[in-house]
Structure formats: C-alpha cells, structure tokens
C-alpha cells in the first residue's frame, strides 16, 4: 500500500491525507484516554467498533439531511471523510444530568433535564477544554453569530436523531459531544458534523437496567469497554466479526 502522509495524530485517531484534494483518511486507534489523558490504556478492538459505529451514525445523519463529513468507510479501521475547518468548540448536548454537569450544579446523575441543554467547551487540551459561553465565542471570534445559530440547530437535530435510534434499541442517550466544521463550496460556506460519533463521545445507558455502555466504563473502571461497545454495535446491527475486532490492520 502506498505510504500515506500523516497530518495529525490525536488521542483516539490518526488523520492522513486523503486520495483526492479535500479528503482525509481517519484511522481509529485502540487507545483509550480519560481525564485529559491522565488515564490511558489500549483496548483491543475499540478502534474497529468506533469506526463502524461512527459510520452508522454519520450515514444515518446524511440520509436525513444533516450534513456530515463522512464519505465512505475504507476498511475496518479507516474511513474517508471531507476535510473541513473545525470550529474549536466541543458541542455537548445533554438530555439527562451526568458527568461534569452533575458535579458543577449538584444534580443527581440520571435526572431528566427539563429540555435538552447545549453547552460549549473551548477545544484546548492544555486548558482541559474549559466551558465557555456564547459571549466568549463571539468576543474571541471562534465562530460568528450565524455559525452559532447553525451549530445549535445541527446539535439539536443530531440529538433528536441519535435519541430516537438509541431508544429503538433500548438505550438512553444521556449526553454526547460533537464537533462541527466549515466547508467552502465556491462562494458559499456551510457547516457539517465532523470528527466522530461513538460510545467514546456519548453517554449511553441501558433503559431497563441503567447499565453504562459508553466510555464511563473505562473512566470509572466498570468492566470491559469492548463488551460495552460490542453490545451497542450488536443492538444496532453493525457488529463486526470477532476476527475483525481483534486483529488490527497494519497501515503505513
């Protein structure tokens, strides 16, 4: 295979130059990190599961007219996506209290929120991705008011879609994080959902038992992360064959 030029290596993914201009190859690693990379491990098969699950969610969004960066899956660990200019914000949507919201406001985990709450964090690992307001976003020029109107509407559409898909397989979508990017088409710019949508970036609880099926299993040492993600994949009908989960493909 031809050597691909690495553009960027993050905590869970590597980005390579794509085969055509404006495209990128996203490679999903098995690395798991939490608490701003203070806790680290390699979880065999996580990359394969997240690649397939992100494909499933992004494809669904594309089909209902929510634009995403996803073009096609290349193999068990890689997908081809559109290159976009990422807005430096983590966009968090919450339906039930959990994690940092529970801690910050003293609301018991699992409490249903009166309506979905959208929060923004400034993407900066060195600062620990601090929570910011729209005032900060406007003042520092991270996104325009028009961008933020579109970001909010995209975030809520993604929330409705994911909540419904999960509900259909007995899973509660507690909260999730997305990233949004800009693409330029001639004189026009539009926003698309980028990065990934996977159990690494969502909180997913079994509706009947409350069992956690997301990265909190790793963060809080609650058992096997692969088992939890496999359960989500199995329910959604995107479970890979066992051999494909355990054998990472060598790239470069």
Binding site for ligand UDP (CB under 6 A): 90, 92, 98-101, 129, 175-177, 201-203, 215
The residue (of 87 and 98) whose beta carbon lies closer to ligand UDP is 98
C-alpha 54: how far from chain center = 7
CB of 21 to ligand UDP, least distance (A): 29
CB of 241 to ligand UDP, least distance (A): 27
The residue (of 18 and 161) whose beta carbon lies closer to ligand UDP is 161
CB of 22 to ligand UDP, least distance (A): 26
CB of 202 to ligand UDP, least distance (A): 5
CB of 42 to ligand UDP, least distance (A): 19
The residue (of 24 and 101) whose beta carbon lies closer to ligand UDP is 101
CB of 174 to ligand UDP, least distance (A): 7
The residue (of 130 and 170) whose beta carbon lies closer to ligand UDP is 130
The residue (of 90 and 147) whose beta carbon lies closer to ligand UDP is 90
The residue (of 1 and 105) whose beta carbon lies closer to ligand UDP is 105
Q: How many angstroms separate the Cα of 21 from the Cα of each of 16, 134, 151, 162, 196?
A: 12, 33, 26, 31, 21
């Amino acid at each position: 295979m031809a050597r691909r030029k690495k553009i960027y290596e993050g905590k869970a993914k590597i980005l390579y130059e794509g085969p055509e201009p404006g495209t990128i190859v996203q490679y999903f690693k098995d690395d798991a990190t939490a608490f701003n990379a203070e806790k680290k491990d390699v979880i065999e098969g996580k990359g394969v599961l997240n690649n397939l699950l992100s494909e499933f969610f992004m494809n669904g969004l594309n089909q209902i007219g929510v634009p995403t960066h996803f073009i096609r899956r290349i193999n068990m660990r890689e997908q081809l996506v559109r290159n976009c200019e990422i807005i430096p914000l983590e966009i968090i949507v919450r339906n039930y209290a959990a994690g940092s919201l529970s801690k910050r406001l003293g609301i018991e985990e699992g409490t249903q929120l009166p309506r979905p709450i959208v929060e923004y964090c400034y993407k900066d690992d060195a600062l620990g991705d601090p929570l910011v307001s729209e005032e900060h976003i406007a003042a520092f020029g991270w996104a325009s008011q028009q961008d933020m109107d579109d970001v909010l509407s995209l975030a809520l559409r993604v929330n409705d879609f994911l909540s419904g898909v999960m509900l259909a397989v007995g899973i509660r979508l507690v909260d999730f994080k997305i990233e949004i990017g800009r693409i330029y088409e001639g004189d026009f710019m539009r926003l698309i959902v980028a990065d990934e949508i996977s159990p690494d970036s969502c909180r997913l609880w079994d509706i009947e038992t409350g069992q956690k099926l997301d990265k909190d299993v790793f963060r809080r040492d609650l058992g096997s992360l692969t088992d939890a993600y496999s359960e989500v994949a199995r329910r959604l009908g995107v479970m890979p064959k066992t051999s494909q989960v355990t054998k990472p493909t060598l790239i470069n």
